[in-house]
Structure 1
Amino acid sequence: MIERMPSRWGLTIPLTNVPLTDHARIVSAAADAGFTDFWSAETNGTDAFVPLALAAGWAPSAHLGTAIVPVFTRGPALIAMSAATLADVAPGRFTLGIGASSPAIVNAWNGIDFADPFGRARDVLRFVRRALAGEMVDGEFDSFTIRRFKLEKVPEVRPRVSLAALRRGMLRLAAAEADGVILNWLAATDLPQVTAELKEAPADFDVAARIFVCPTEDAATARAIGKRLIAAYLTVPVYEKFHRWLGRGPALDETWRLWAAGDRKGALAAVPDSVADELILHGSPASVRAQLQSYVDGGVKTPVAALIPPPGTDLAAAVAALAPTAKEDATWS
């Protein structure tokens, strides 16, 4: 059977437990195998920009994106400067993805007040779009004031700016004012509810989604890894609200109750297999590629695989097995 692949096929970098200097061969090989995009993340590991600057040299034709740069942890001007730098390195091939992030990253780890995340995201989005277009920005936004900022070097090709969004308000803001949206922690079956909020977006609006992939055919191992992530992430208030909105309240209520009570082991054990299977793709490479395709069928234009490998995984082999050029009988090792 010939698989129908999307025109954009992304990979999250850097890969787990692989030094940045060792990514050159993996990124280059992934691009040769059909990966069109490399998207970074920024939590408590590498920053969002340096891996992409390196990837620009390793894969000179690939599209690069940040998913995401938190709008609180850098000043608006610094975000614009960093974006302009990468846009200069990869003209026409860079997307600045920004988002509110979470109280853990913003407040607990960076000591910054996580106040009015919607307003801050809206204001930074408006600021960076103007700054990257070469405007001098001078005036008051609801969450900050800027005095006469203008980029010293305006990108020849303005980078696209995408907004990370979960629920209705941020999704509609992305559709109205951004060039695209970045989705996270959702199943393909959740897409109709999410994309319904993007109906006012223009035709060239990008819909990117980070999709977690555990490269194994051992369902028990994949579920164990997935449940640890689910217990850690979906208990964060913004993600709990998101999944209640999606209708997973009945499935995850016990996990949330036990987590709030301080029973971490109980909360982990309460995550249903069905939720792990919905949110963490696993199985054979061909099966996972088909599951990724289901996101495309649901409206995602840029699926971005984020590998969460079991210990001992040959990551280069796993990337090759996930690539668009992979053979039907490809294996993870």
Structure 2
Amino acid sequence: MAPKQRMAVTVPAGPKLEDTAKRLQWAEANGYDDAWFSDSGAPDSLTAIAALAHRVERLRIGIAVTPVFSRTPAVLAATANVLGQALPGRFVFGLGASSQTMMQNWHGLEYEKPLTRVKETAVMVRSMLAGEKSDFDLETLKSHGYRQPPSDPMVPLYLAALRPKMIEMAAEVGDGVVFNLWPRKALPKMVEHVHTGAARGGKDGAGVEIVNRYMVLVTDDKAEARNRFRAAFAPYYATPVYNSFLAWAGYEDAARQIREGWAEKDRAKTTGALEDDLIDDIAVIGNEDECRERIRWAAETGIHTHIVAPLTQDPAEVERTFAAFRPEVFDLAA
């Protein structure tokens, strides 16, 4: 059975915990199904979930995604145990490799064998959540003699993925898959790889939940919104992980120009690689009807949970963007 269609807000809502609490409460009051945290620095999202879990009663809360390099499997399992108790049956733990920029530059960690590290982390964390005593000598990780009380209900583990090998592993090993920042023509083949990986794991691919975070701006000024996207995400696509993904998705020239522009410290060259058509293939920009139609297409193509991440910090623009996807005006089940 296919997972239900779900609309989600993105959090945190800025540096202040109270602002995030207000967004969670607004989402619950306005019929959203989920809230999904990003995890890229302060405020720490795992701590924030623990601090704010009592502020909502119905929302499912996920994290997309916690890097597997910056915390050990035992720490991740212990944290998931607490969050699973704070949100029984309503917490989803997303894990991913993150990027060289964050792991090497921010944390001073080696970024090696990301696919293997994500897979081994998921295997170990799931075992620890089940209350099993650790006895692992894996390629990238080891643990012996660690045990914690079993989680009940079990906390689901969703794995972030972009390209075929990681997508297939995520669907095979994880309970769900998390996508991000794909160009439109890449999505059908990404969904195909989910089905391939799920079959390898003895699962029905149609039952594997696919979560996606969209950069969205409901606006009447598309040109200005595209420029915001260029400024914010050209550096993102300069990282090796996303640059390779963009090339795999069929935009080799744009990927090469971004890579070259970044190396040359030529901002105009880097941002200029993201032409209007490419931005429209990645971001969700336009008026209410245009943005809803884009999300509806993604749902029909294979996405189940749709995280709306406003491409703005302006309160009025954020309100308009989130308001466009309230169930009273946008029903994916219809």
Asked if Structure 1 and Structure 2 have the same fold, meaning a TM-score greater than 0.5 normalized by the shorter chain, the answer is yes
Separation (CA, whole Å) in 2 of partners of 1:286 and 1:53: 36
- 1:3 maps to none
Amino acid at match of 1:32: A
* Residues 1:33 and 2:30 are matched in the alignment: yes
- Mapping 1:1-333, distance limit 5 Å: 7-15=5-13, 17=14, 19-151=16-148, 153-200=149-196, 201=198, 202-203=203-204, 204-309=207-312, 311=314, 313-326=316-329
Separation (CA, whole Å) in 2 of partners of 1:324 and 1:287: 16
Query: Can you give the 5+ residue segments of structure 2 that lack an aligned partner in the other structure?
Result: none
8 Å CA contact 1:39–1:304 kept in 2: the answer is yes
8 Å CA contact 1:214–1:310 kept in 2: the answer is no
What secondary structure sits across from 2:218 in the alignment? coil
8 Å CA contact 1:216–1:310 kept in 2: the answer is no
User: Relative to structure 2, which stretch is displaced further, 284-293 or 108-117?
Assistant: 284-293
Shift of 1:54: 4.2
Amino acid at match of 1:172: E
Separation (CA, whole Å) in 2 of partners of 1:228 and 1:164: 24
8 Å CA contact 2:15–2:43 kept in 1: the answer is no
Percent identity at matched positions?
Answer: 28
Separation (CA, whole Å) in 2 of partners of 1:131 and 1:49: 18
8 Å CA contact 1:219–1:282 kept in 2: the answer is yes
Separation (CA, whole Å) in 2 of partners of 1:95 and 1:312: 28
Deviations 1:29-69 (A, max 9, x none): 21122211111111133222133234422221111111000
Separation (CA, whole Å) in 2 of partners of 1:72 and 1:148: 21
Shift of 1:282: 1.2
- TM-score, normalization by structure 1: 0.90
RMSD of aligned residue pairs (Cα, Å): 1.9
Query: Can you give the 5+ residue segments of structure 1 that lack an aligned partner in the other structure?
Result: 1-5, 329-333
Separation (CA, whole Å) in 1 of partners of 2:15 and 2:310: 12
8 Å CA contact 2:183–2:278 kept in 1: the answer is no
Deviations 1:170-220 (A, max 9, x none): 111112111111001113432111011111422331111111112322111
Deviations 1:202-239 (A, max 9, x none): 23311111111123221111101111122110110011
Separation (CA, whole Å) in 1 of partners of 2:96 and 2:317: 32
What secondary structure sits across from 2:223 in the alignment? helix
Separation (CA, whole Å) in 1 of partners of 2:97 and 2:73: 13
